[in-house]
Structures are given as C-alpha cells and as structure tokens.
C-alpha cells in the first residue's frame, strides 16, 4: 500500500470515530429524564433585596426588645409630664380669675367714689331753697333791721305753679307761672320761680332773663338773687355769683 493510500485510510478512520462519538453523545442526551433536564429558574416569590440594602427584618432582628422596667419608666414619665402640665394650666386659670375679680372690684369702687364725689359737689352747689308755701312773703327774723319784703298778692295760677315746682314738675310750673304773669305781670316772685324752673331745666339764658326781671321789679327779692347766683355759677361767672350770693345772705336768704 502506498503512503498516500495509507494516509487516506487513517483520515477516514478518524472521521468515522468522530461520527461515532457524536452519535453516542446524542443518544446519551436523549436518555436523560425530562425532570432532571435543566430548566429556566423559577421566578422568586419575593423580590430579592438589592445588594447592600438593610431591610426591616434586619433592623428588627438586630434590635433588642425593651424590657418591662424600661416600658414602665417611660409610662411613668409621660404621666408625670401630663400631670404637671395640667397643674400649671389650673394655676394659670386661677390667677387669671383672681385678677379679673380684683379688676372688677376696683372698677366698682372707682364708680362708687366718682358717684360720691359728684353727689357731694352737687349737694354743695345745690343748696335747697324752701320756697314760700303761698304767694305772700313775710318778714324774716334774720334780715337786717328795717328791711322787709313786700307782700304781693297770690293767684290760683301762681299757687298751682308753686305746687308743680315743689314736686319737680318744672315744665308744668313754667306754664302755670306764665299764666300767672298774664294776670299780674308785676309780681316779682312769679318771675323768680319761673326763672328757677328754667335753671333746674338747665335753660340758663331764659332763667337769667326772668331773674333779672324779678330783681328789677323788687330789689329785695332774695330768692331771685340766690337762683341768679346759681345761674352765674353754671355759666362760669364766679364773681357775679359771689356778689348775688352775698346779696341773698344780706336779705336773709
């Protein structure tokens, strides 16, 4: 056999051996059971945590549960803080109420003080004058020697006006005195008490006009001087008020 033929024979033998090996491998792979064959990995039921990330399970596993004593201490501290806050709130509320009571009491006392001062001042300014009970005037024991008030006739209108005046019905008194003036326009006492009625209604200009008329009719009309002094006080004429008041005292007012 030639060398060429020898080489070809070897090559054919090698190829034939490779084919046998491949067929044997194929038969072995077919005989492997299906369940043992590699399959795709089943999807995990839970997503795996990213590498390096700490999960809640890791934290809880690493923590130690607080003891009963620790929990009791925390509870006691919470209760104590709540009790202190409640106590502080009650104290603040009580202090506020006390200040409100003090303020209200002070305000009441201030109002009473102002009222008392006003009443005292008014009492000093408004000294009561007792008018005659009828339309006649009488000699006063306190008048200077030789001074005597003239006796003037009365009238039903004047008496009615005087009754209204004594009962503080000043509007009715003014109307009655005005009617009395029509009957007797020269009765100084009628002008005096109509002027007094105007004064008590704080109608100072009308009061001053009537009282001036009364004094013009009778220079010894003491009540006219007294009421005119009060009108001057109300209008701020202190000097004139003092002069009229002195004249009234001189006449026994």
Confidence band of 153 (pLDDT split at 50, 70, 90): low
For residue 61, being part of any structural domain is answered with no
Do 218 and 198 form a contact (C-beta atoms < 8 A)? no
- Stronger pLDDT, 110 or 228, i.e. the higher one: 228
For residue 52, being part of any structural domain is answered with no
For residue 14, being part of any structural domain is answered with no
For residue 149, being part of any structural domain is answered with no
For residue 116, being part of any structural domain is answered with no
pLDDT at 70 exceeding the cut of 90: no
Residue-number span of the structural domain to which 179 is assigned: 156-250
- Weakest mean pLDDT among 7-16, 86-95, 142-151, 190-199: 142-151
**pLDDT for residue 160:** 95
pTM, two decimals, is 0.44
For residue 8, being part of any structural domain is answered with no
**pLDDT for residue 29:** 61
Give the torsion through C-alpha atoms of 86, 92, 93, 98, to 10 deg. 150
**pLDDT for residue 240:** 95
How many Cβ atoms from other residues are within 10 Å of residue 237's Cβ?
16
Arithmetic mean of pLDDT, 188-211 = 96
The CA distance from 92 to 87, in Å, is 9
**pLDDT for residue 97:** 85
Confidence band of 68 (pLDDT split at 50, 70, 90): confident
For residue 216, being part of any structural domain is answered with yes
pLDDT at 201 exceeding the cut of 90: yes
- Stronger pLDDT, 81 or 244, i.e. the higher one: 244
- What is the domain-level CATH number for residue 170? 1.25.40.10
Structurally, the chain folds into a number of domains equal to 1
**pLDDT for residue 161:** 95
Closest by Cα among 207, 203, 252 to 228: 207
The CA distance from 187 to 217, in Å, is 7
Instruction: Give the position of tokens 């009061």.
Output: 207
For residue 225, being part of any structural domain is answered with yes
């Amino acid at each position: 056999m030639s060398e060429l033929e020898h080489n070809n024979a070897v090559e054919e033998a090698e190829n034939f051996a490779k084919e046998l090996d491949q067929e044997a491998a194929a038969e072995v792979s077919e005989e492997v059971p299906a369940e043992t064959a590699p399959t795709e990995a089943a999807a995990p039921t839970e997503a795996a945590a990213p590498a390096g990330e700490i999960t809640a399970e890791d934290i809880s596993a690493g923590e130690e549960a607080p003891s009963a004593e620790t929990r009791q201490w925390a509870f006691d501290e919470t209760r104590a803080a709540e009790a202190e806050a409640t106590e502080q709130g009650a104290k603040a509320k009580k202090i506020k109420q006390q200040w409100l009571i003090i303020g209200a009491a002070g305000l009441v006392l201030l109002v009473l003080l102002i009222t008392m001062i006003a009443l005292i001042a008014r009492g000093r300014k408004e000294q009561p004058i007792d008018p005659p009970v009828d339309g006649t005037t009488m000699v006063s024991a306190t008048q200077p020697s030789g001074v005597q008030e003239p006796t003037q006739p009365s009238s039903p209108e004047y008496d009615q006006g005087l009754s209204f005046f004594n009962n503080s019905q000043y509007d009715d008194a003014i109307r009655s005195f005005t009617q009395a003036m029509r009957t007797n326009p020269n009765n100084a006492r009628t002008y005096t008490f109509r002027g007094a009625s105007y004064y008590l209604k704080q109608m100072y200009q009308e009061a001053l006009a009537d009282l001036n008329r009364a004094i013009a009719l009778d220079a010894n009309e003491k009540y006219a001087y007294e009421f005119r002094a009060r009108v001057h006080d109300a209008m701020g004429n202190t000097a004139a008020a003092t002069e009229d008041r002195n004249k009234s005292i001189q006449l026994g007012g």
